[in-house]
Amino acid sequence: MAHIEMDPQRWKQEVLKKYPKKVAKKREKSIVVHDGAEVLQKIQANVRTIPGIITQRGCTYAGCKGVVLGPTRDIVNLVHGPIGCSFYAWLTRRNQTLPPTPESENFMNYCFSTDMQDSNIVFGGEIKLKQAVREVFEIFKPKSIGIFSTCPVGLIGDDVHAVAREMKEELGINIFGFSCEGYKGVSQSAGHHIANNALMKHVIGLRDEAPKGKYKVNMLGEYNIGGDAFELERIFEKCGLTLISSFSGNSTIEQFERAHMADLNVVMCHRSINYVAEMMEKKFGIPWFKVNFIGAEATAKSLRKIAEYFGDQELIDRVEEVIAEEMVIVKKELEVIYPHTQGKLAMMFVGGSRAHHYQELFTELGMSTIAAGYEFGHRDDYEGRRVIPTIQIDADSRNIEELTIEADETRFNPRITEERKAELESKGCGFNDYEGMMVDMAKGALVIDDLSHYEMEKLIEAYHPDVFCAGIKEKYCVQKMGIPLKQLHSYDYGGPYAGFGGAVNFYKDIDMIVNTSIWKMIKAPWEAEPVIEAEFAV
């Protein structure tokens, strides 16, 4: 198929023409053609999706239960609601977990629900919820139970928090509730915030035991999809870093409880977990900065940043050794694959960080990202945290609780001095900062928030990328158009893609994708040209 380069501004105008006037006016602000200027353009994000537009987005419950709390193996996640919400979140996100012994608790393969019936909707569901909590305790004996609210729960006035308190008292284990009804906020993002709040209120800081080991770090916003956390654990261990807790890939509630014993929080997925990072700094004095372990170069850079923070020559040297050792393998693989992928085009519309992080991997493959956007990002994920003070708080954001956090009376302990912080910052260790996606994108690239199905088809028609990255709902639409789609939520059931080993896996998978033979065979021989020779014709 001929590659027809269309001016992105013209593309934008043509796409908007299709929409009803009001809709076009709204979408206009969410589609930005990157002008390459230093001062980044404003993009509209984290606003309501237009009904009927066919969005990639999901709901608050998905962000809370599915994303943030889903990967912890020893909390029973009890969903209070009709059966569907729990059913659809049952093992579908591919968070892997590795219980240390055959006896260790692991509830992740189970699906728990109160299966609300119409009588519960009419007369209230609290009694059933309490009974379900008791039954979970009696049958499974967990250390902890999380209760997740679905749409009808808030509407009928069931108080999951009161039930959690009462049951905690009665059963003597940690039980906490989440008001993560699907209609709150405008996307999964509100659910991340709600999950962060509850972890801060009910879990983080409960265990003051200081774990052994040097260079204590929490990994925030890493969900062990396809085993990403396993690869990062391997690298951390090799470098001599001590991972205190992971939010929340391959995690346990005990790890969360002692997360405040760490000396640094590193943030992977800014969107889903920045609230915990901010709150832990205020309460316990643990600084945080952004890292990215997607891409070999990015992994190396992030490791160096961590070593620099601790400032210990032994660690700095060890990290360099590890990077040198790992990069040998990475470069060897890349050398073979690069010629196959170089110059190809990618587009990615996924998540609240992934559409940024994965650009690193494509850059390493010599591919350019000509269009990207988030499904549930905020303006700061595009333009950087500096815009946060200028973001208007609308009705949908206002109804998500903002916790007021104060320094812990006994346990607040600033891990580094202001002077040291300033020194590190001058070396590029940007604390409390995330620069966002757009700064890394090229002039002329299209940045689109909350991409609609229609816009997706038009992008493909106009630019024929070599690979389109999105999720399961988009996968087969794009592939029917003859363009391979790489799922960046589920990794197409592959991975890990994080760290050095993950980068190699990704190179290989993209190599495989752009070298798939079957795409060239879509047309039957008789469609390509007439096969009936004149002599056989009647």
Partner 1 sequence: MLLRHTSDTIIEREALTVNPAKTCQPIGAMYAALGIHGCLPHSHGSQGCCSYHRSALTRHYKEPVMAATSSFTEGSSVFGGQANLLQAVETIFTVYNPDVIAVHTTCLSETIGDDVNQILQKARDENYVPAGKYVIHCNTPSYVGSHVTGYANMVTSMVKYFSAKSATKKDQVNLICGWVEPSDMREIKRIAATMGAKIVLFPDTSDVLDTPMTGKHEFYPKGGVTIPELISTGDSKYTIGLGSFCSEEAATLLENKCKVKFSIQDLPIGLKATDRFLVALSRAAGVKVPDSITEERGRLIDMIADMHKYLYGKRVALWGDPDTLVPLTEFLLTMDMKPVYIVSGTPGKKFEESMKSLLTEKVPEAKYKNGERADMFLLHQWIKQEPVDLLIGNTYGKYIARDENIPFIRMGFPILDRVGHSYFPAVGYTGAMRLLTSILNAILDKEDRECREEKVELTM
Q: Is 93 a catalytic residue?
A: yes
Query: Who's near 152: CB < 8 A, 6+ residues apart?
Result: 81, 82, 116, 121, 125
- Of 115 and 433, which has the nearer Cβ to partner 1? 115
Could you please report the per-residue DSSP string of 382-424?
HH-GGGGGGS---HHHHTS--------TTT---SS-HHHHHHH
Interacting residue with partner 1 among 4, 52, 313, 526 (CB under 8 A): 52
- The token duo for 104 is 């260790």
Type and span of the H or E element at 67? none
Of residues 27, 73, 80, 93, which has the active-site annotation? 93
Interaction of residue 395 with partner 1, rule CB under 8 A: yes
Interaction of residue 392 with partner 1, rule CB under 8 A: no
Give the C-alpha separation, 431 to 294, whole Å: 20
Of residues 45, 62, 239, 277, which has the active-site annotation? 62
Give the C-alpha separation, 342 to 143, whole Å: 51
The stretch among 201-209, 213-221, 252-260, 474-482 that binds partner 1 (CB under 8 A) is 474-482
- Of 231 and 455, which has the nearer Cβ to partner 1? 455
Q: Is 193 a catalytic residue?
A: no
Interacting residue with partner 1 among 46, 60, 72, 144 (CB under 8 A): 60
The beta strand positions in 262-366, using DSSP E, are 264-267, 288-290, 345-349
Interaction of residue 259 with partner 1, rule CB under 8 A: no
- Of 66 and 499, which has the nearer Cβ to partner 1? 66
- Of 105 and 228, which has the nearer Cβ to partner 1? 105
CB 384, CB 436: distance < 8 Å: yes
Tokens 């493959």, residue located: 365
- Of 8 and 471, which has the nearer Cβ to partner 1? 471
Of residues 34, 192, 193, 385, which has the active-site annotation? 192
Tokens 């609210």, residue located: 149
Interaction of residue 197 with partner 1, rule CB under 8 A: no
Give the C-alpha separation, 446 to 448, whole Å: 6
- Of 420 and 473, which has the nearer Cβ to partner 1? 473
Interaction of residue 406 with partner 1, rule CB under 8 A: no
Q: 144-149 and 174-178 as β-strands: parallel, antiparallel, unpaired?
A: parallel
3-state SS, residue 33 = strand
Report, in Å, the least distance between residue 339 CB and partner 1: 27
- Of 62 and 361, which has the nearer Cβ to partner 1? 62
Interacting residue with partner 1 among 8, 71, 82, 177 (CB under 8 A): 82
Interaction of residue 485 with partner 1, rule CB under 8 A: no
Query: What string marks each residue from 442 to 471 as x (binds partner 1 by CB under 8 A) or -?
Result: ----------xxx--x-------------x
Q: Is 59 a catalytic residue?
A: yes
CB 265, CB 280: distance < 8 Å: yes
Interaction of residue 62 with partner 1, rule CB under 8 A: yes
Interacting residue with partner 1 among 473, 492, 494, 509 (CB under 8 A): 473
Applying the rule CB under 8 A, the residues between 163 and 182 that interact with partner 1 are 182
- Of 186 and 204, which has the nearer Cβ to partner 1? 186
CB 271, CB 376: distance < 8 Å: yes
What are the φ/ψ torsions at residue 428 (nearest 5 degrees)? 95, 10
Give the C-alpha separation, 276 to 199, whole Å: 8
The stretch among 112-120, 210-218, 334-342, 419-427 that binds partner 1 (CB under 8 A) is 112-120
DSSP state of 289: E
Interaction of residue 83 with partner 1, rule CB under 8 A: yes
Give the C-alpha separation, 41 to 332, whole Å: 39
Interacting residue with partner 1 among 30, 72, 97, 150 (CB under 8 A): 150
Tokens 């700094």, residue located: 281
The stretch among 16-24, 193-201, 302-310, 418-426 that binds partner 1 (CB under 8 A) is 16-24
Interaction of residue 139 with partner 1, rule CB under 8 A: yes
Q: Which residue, 248, 287, 309, 266, is CA-closest to 412?
A: 287
**Site size toward partner 1, by CB under 8 A:** 90
Interaction of residue 109 with partner 1, rule CB under 8 A: yes
Give the C-alpha separation, 83 to 521, whole Å: 43
Of residues 59, 180, 298, 445, which has the active-site annotation? 59
- The token duo for 145 is 């139970």
Q: Is 62 a catalytic residue?
A: yes
The beta strand positions in 49-196, using DSSP E, are 75-80, 112-113, 144-149, 174-178
Interaction of residue 152 with partner 1, rule CB under 8 A: yes
Report, in Å, the least distance between residue 82 CB and partner 1: 4
Type and span of the H or E element at 450? none
Interaction of residue 59 with partner 1, rule CB under 8 A: yes
Interaction of residue 265 with partner 1, rule CB under 8 A: no
> Catalytic residue numbers?
59, 62, 93, 192
